Amino acid sequence: MGHTIYLADDEKSIRELLHSFLTSDGYEVRSFESGDALLAAFQQEPAELVILDIMMPGTDGLTVCRELRSVSDIPIILLTAKDSELDYVMGISQGGDDYLTKPFRPTILLMKVRALLRRVEMDRGKTAAATADELRYGDLRYSATENAVLCGNAPVALTQTELRLLSYMMRQPGKAYSREELLNAVWGFDSEVETRVTDETLRRIRKKLLQAGSGVSVATIWGFGYRLKGAESV
């Protein structure tokens, strides 16, 4: 049996199109016309990936995303008819892993679904195989066995996507990483259009490190990408 995907969109034609496209690729898909219906189903039986339209009657997609993220780290893809930077930032800041603006080609959505689920499977394999996999930089410690980054003895409140991105950069903390490299390494695909996913996720990581009282921060290399700075590896 394939991975289980929940899809919520109030437009019947979109639900039917995406349901058909995803099931033909081997996924088990349940479609809902509202975010409330999806949340109710998720409480009974969680999915492995969720696709949410932002603009829905009743509980909107951003609220659904935030509620799902409070109880689960599953991948969430957001759909919207608006192509504004504000909508994008709000979607990613609420815990969305990726974002698509309507109209879009179903093949693009399928590519993102495959990449996100492949990433989940890789993470599970790494966690199962890890015994003493640990990285340190400054006052930060990444533990694969604990699946967390800690500042001192306290875990930094990171989503799974943020955790993957920060731990990836901690492997070579002095290195300058391009947006494209981080996108491909963490999200599993390479697209110039989607590099803002990296930007927004790193903005959240920078804020959370500051809130945790860490001496490590994320430095922007204008026109290129990012690197970790502010502390020496210990």
CATH number of the structural domain spanning residue 210: 1.10.10.10
- Distance (Å, whole) CA 170 – CA 228: 8
Specify which of 85-89, 170-174, 179-183, 202-206 reaches the highest per-range mean pLDDT.
202-206
- pLDDT for residue 195: 67
Alpha-carbon Rg for the chain in angstroms: 18
- Distance (Å, whole) CA 162 – CA 205: 6
Structural domain that includes position 93: 4-124
Q: Please tell me the chain's helix, strand, coil percentages from 3-state DSSP, rounded to the nearest 5.
A: 45, 20, 35
In a domain, 234, yes or no: no
pLDDT in tens, 175-213: 899 988 888 787 766 544 466 778 888 998 999 999 999
- Final residue belonging to a domain, choices 71, 93, 124: 124
CA–CA distances in Å: residue 43 to residues 36, 39, 203, 230, 232 = 11, 6, 31, 42, 44
- Final residue belonging to a domain, choices 124, 150, 176: 124
Average pLDDT over residues 113-123: 79
Same domain, 104 and 155: no
pLDDT in tens, 38-84: 999 999 999 999 999 998 888 999 999 989 988 888 889 999 876 66
Q: What is the pTM of this model?
A: 0.65
